[in-house]
Amino acid sequence: MDLAQARALVTGGASGLGLAVARRIVAAGGRAALLDVQAEAGAAAAAGLGDSAKFFRCDVTSEQGVNEAVKAAHDWLGGLTLAVNCAGVIGAGKLLGRDGPMATDFFAKVVTINLVGTFNVDKAAAALMQHNAPNADGERGLLVHTSSVAAFEGQIGQIAYSATKAA
């Protein structure tokens, strides 16, 4: 994919890896929609990237919210060719800690953000990308998932995070 032609949405775009990805896309000449729950940080990040970036508040755990944010990003970008999933939380906690077993609700929250959130974004983005004309390589769009070495070498206190990164 030619980043200079990219019309991209980046989840977790307000900070960290998501913001770094958005910076790279904009520096290459592409356009980036930053999707994140952090409204203040997201607006500041987009402003720092100039006219080639815009912030859209999005909670990746909300199917309806994702659909609305992805559609709004698509409309602002004038299409969608790239979706980069960087939204996620570490959710530090041990399976069995000093206070007893990890609460299932805690584990489920990390899974919902890191894994289900990626699915929500992928399906909303793919539903729009399917209408793109194929490029010279036959691509209509690209979905990117970020992972972590924790998927293979889990660390103490990262059972939920490691599970979602492996998934």
Q: What's the angle, vertex CA 137, arms to CA 133 and CA 140, rounded to 5?
A: 35
Residue 155: both structure tokens together: 């660390």
Distance of alpha carbon 85 from the chain centroid: 3
CA 139, 146, 55, 25 torsion-angle sign: negative
Cα separation, 1 vs 13, whole angstroms: 20
Catalytic one of 161, 162, 163, 165: 161
Q: Is 74 a catalytic residue?
A: no
Beta strands in 28-123 (DSSP E): 31-36, 53-57, 82-85, 96-97, 100-101
Q: Specify whether the CB–CB gap between 103 and 151 falls below 8 A.
A: no
Distance of CA 83 to the CA centre of its chain: 7
Which residues are annotated as catalytic?
161
